Structure 1
Amino acid sequence: MDDGASRPSTSPALPPRLRKFIGTCLIILLVILWALGAMALAQGRVTTLPGFWQFLAYVVLGIGWVVPAALLIRWMQKGDRKPETL
């Protein structure tokens, strides 16, 4: 009895060019939405916080987009051939 567990998936992977195009569009959308959200939070709630918490909030709002962008970039690079080493 073959349960299909040993067979590789037959669903086709996205071609690298399409995956990179989709990833680029998503990163642009992420940066735009993150900037709008950060501006909205910085204008309203962050200004009422004490100094240290304001600093921490600005740091998180300023560089917090890097983590989701890095995950998108990792996905975009998935499946690419690695260059041969000498």
Structure 2
Amino acid sequence: MTPSWRKPFGVLMILTLILVWCVLIASAAPWIGELPVLVQLPIYLVAGIVWIVPLKPLLRWMETGKWRE
């Protein structure tokens, strides 16, 4: 059985996604920091969850080679 290149590439894509998302949120932190704490909380909660959304198709592609079912 020949090893697939999709898994190492997928791991690099996941790490890149996390890095880009962190830079994006960190660059918005000064603007978000000016908001009241009760407004900051949902923003950071949503930002902490949203990056997970593209992982399902990426993980599916890593396993099967197809983006959709």
Q: TM-score range by the shorter chain?
A: 0.7 to 0.9
Task: Encode CA deviations 1:25-77: one digit per residue, 9 max, x unaligned.
Answer: 100111111111111112x2211223332111101221221111222112112
Query: Computing the radius of gyration over CA atoms, which structure comes out larger, 1 or 2?
Result: 1
Aligned length: 64
| TM-score in terms of structure 1 length | 0.61
Q: Please list every run of 5 or more consecutive structure 2 residues that lacks an aligned counterpart in the other structure.
A: none
1:64 equivalent to 2:50? Answer: yes
Q: Which residue of 2 aligns with 1:18?
A: 5
Task: Compute the TM-score of the two structures, normalised by the length of structure 2.
Answer: 0.73
Q: Say what the alpha-carbon RMSD is for the aligned residues.
A: 2.0
Q: In the aligned structure 1, how far is the partner of 2:8 from the partner of 2:62?
A: 9
How do 1:30-49 and structure 2 match up within 5 A? 30-42=17-29, 44-49=30-35
Q: Which stretches of structure 1, 4 residues or more, deviate above 2 A after TM superposition?
A: 48-53
Q: Which has the higher helix share?
A: 2
Task: State, as a whole percentage, how many aligned pairs show the same letter.
Answer: 36
